[in-house]
Amino acid sequence: MTRVLVITGDPVGPKMAGPAIRAWNIARLLSVEHEVALMTTTLLEPMVAPFALHRVRPGEDDAFAKLVAWADVIVFQGHAMAQFDALRRSEKIVVADIYDPMHLEMLEQGRELGRATWELRVSTATSVLNEQLALADFFLCASERQRLFYLGQLTTLGRVNPATYENDPHLTDLIAVAPFGLSATPPVHRNPVVKGVRSGIGAGDKLLIWGGGLYNWFDPLSLITAVARLAARREGVRLLFLGTKHPGVDEMGIVRQSFDLARELGALDTSVFFNESWVQYSERESWLMEADAGVSTHMSHVETTFSFRTRILDYLWAGLPMVVTEGDSFAELVEREGLGVVVPARDVAALELALERVLFDEEFIAEVRRNVERVRAEFVWEKTLAPLVSFVAAPHRAADMQGTRADRSAPGKRRKPYGFGHDTRMFWHYLRAEGPVGVLRRVSSRFTRSR
């Protein structure tokens, strides 16, 4: 039996978002055969789990060192390696879960920030990820596209070398595809939550659901416009954004823009609705089961190319036809397997017609639902995480990881991304970049998140 420490930077509790959901299921699946602990660096709320739960904040080095000493294998995502020197220096077997290309995501997430702050966020995310790629023994990504992308980075960092290639010419012992997954247990509609419950959404209405948060790299504005147009000529069309308050991410500008546009079009609370909180992970199935179709629209850029839209797994799980924007690996799946309609980015007219088809074309809907039923079995957690399960069953250091991790770290003084020194540096950065008002806003946001 192997002792496995799983680490996430996302809040763990009843209201979990993608990274925490993935970490939770990694811990759950590995705990069948191994002794497992799940650790979060942010917020931990009471949960019943078949594994140990811990909260260790950056800077709590003694508590973290104890967990590292206990573990045989450490599986982490996010910034943990940058936050804890014990992980960077550990000689334990380390798996980096890099299913979320944080540096590409930050190119879009930072757009509404000042230029200096935007550049700092992107360069920091790039440095954090490069350190993980330089030091971990095994990597998980979400798609074949991502794998090719990361192989390029690994090559640049010297990890594709004679030692890793000699007995593994396809480099499957270095990086494996382990997509986000879904539960093998079908969803159950436990009680009414939207139709006939929410004012403005009737029991017989046609409900489109947006299954996650609103972030700057998405395009809810084209969707809201298309829904408003469709609702003007088709009775009972409704769109619900399932969550606007991500439990671990500050609200982005696109949230307010979405509200403003819906209000301007006369669609707010008539055809377009926002759930201004975050649905509990264990309760989301009832919301999904009341929907008639799932939607996911985004902009066209490099983040799209390598993204993996986790909300679409919930649509698969609930058997929903879907409308998605072209450009990412999931859009390819939707088109190839006949799971719905794929539309060009920001094409409101095409989007309106696609929404009409998945809501009103009964023959098409029946065909899509049969295809969804067939495909979703390929995405249960037991299948998507099979490469990690196999690795943990026979864990080993990477072929090129001779010597200590500290020997492989980039030279030069390394600044910790937490603590008094970091806070002081960031205070002066934001004061120069955003002025006193920006500093006060960020201090207030930090105190709110730390509650």
pLDDT (tens digit per residue) in 376-400:
999 999 999 999 999 999 999 999 9
Residues 119 and 214 in one domain: no
> Does the residue 340 lie in any domain?
yes
Mark 165-189 as b/e (b = at least 16 C-beta within 10 Å): eeeeeebeebbbbbbbbbeeeebee
Please state, in angstroms and rounded to a whole number, the distance separating the CA atoms of residues 208 and 240. Answer: 6
pLDDT single digits (tens) 35-75: 999 999 999 999 999 999 999 999 999 999 999 999 999 99
Residues 342 and 261 in one domain: yes
For 309-418, where are the E strands, in sequence order? 322-325, 340-343
> Does the residue 11 lie in any domain?
yes
Q: What is the largest CA-CA distance in the chain?
A: 68
> Does the residue 363 lie in any domain?
yes
pLDDT at 412: 40
Spell out the residues 6+ positions from residue 433 whose beta carbon is closer than 8 angstroms to its own: 114, 116, 117
Residues 359 and 448 in one domain: no
pLDDT at 413: 42
pLDDT single digits (tens) 74-113: 999 999 999 999 999 999 999 999 999 999 888 888 887 8
Residues 36 and 177 in one domain: yes
pLDDT at 109: 80
Read off the pLDDT of each residue in 199-215 and give the average, rounded to a whole number.
Answer: 93
Residues 242 and 372 in one domain: yes
Closest C-alpha to 134, from 317, 368, 400: 400
DSSP, res 298:
B
Output the domain CATH number for residue 135: 3.40.50.2000
CA atoms within 13 A on the CB side of 247: 21
Residues 324 and 404 in one domain: no
> Does the residue 189 lie in any domain?
no
> Does the residue 122 lie in any domain?
yes
Q: Give the SS3 label for residue 268.
A: strand
Please state, in angstroms and rounded to a whole number, the distance separating the CA atoms of residues 263 and 279. Answer: 23
Q: What is the mean pLDDT of the chain?
A: 89
Per the CB < 8 A criterion, the answer to whether 316 and 378 are in contact is: no
Read off the pLDDT of each residue in 134-146 and give the average, rounded to a whole number.
Answer: 96
Is the pLDDT at 305 greater than 80? The verdict is: no
> Does the residue 188 lie in any domain?
no
> Does the residue 195 lie in any domain?
no
Residues 274 and 350 in one domain: yes
Amino acid at 294: G
pLDDT at 286: 93
pLDDT at 411: 39
Q: Which domain holds residue 430?
A: 420-451
Residues 413 and 425 in one domain: no
Q: Which of 11-15, 228-232, 336-340 bottoms out in mean pLDDT, i.e. has the lowest?
A: 11-15
Read off the pLDDT of each residue in 190-194 and give the average, rounded to a whole number.
Answer: 92
pLDDT single digits (tens) 274-288: 987 778 877 889 999
Residues 171 and 264 in one domain: no
pLDDT at 212: 79
DSSP, res 140:
E
Closest C-alpha to 7, from 53, 59, 48: 53
Q: Structurally, how many domains does the chain consist of?
A: 3
Read off the pLDDT of each residue in 155-182 and give the average, rounded to a whole number.
Answer: 97
Residues 240 and 373 in one domain: yes
Read off the pLDDT of each residue in 156-183 and give the average, rounded to a whole number.
Answer: 97
Residues 269 and 123 in one domain: no
Spell out the residues 6+ positions from residue 356 whose beta carbon is closer than 8 angstroms to its own: 230, 234
Write down the residue that tokens 């980015």 correspond to: 345
Residues 303 and 432 in one domain: no
Is the pLDDT at 198 greater than 90? The verdict is: yes
Is the pLDDT at 427 greater than 70? The verdict is: no
Give percent of the chain with pLDDT exceeding 70.
88
> Does the residue 237 lie in any domain?
yes
Q: 6 pairs with which residues across the strands?
A: 38, 75
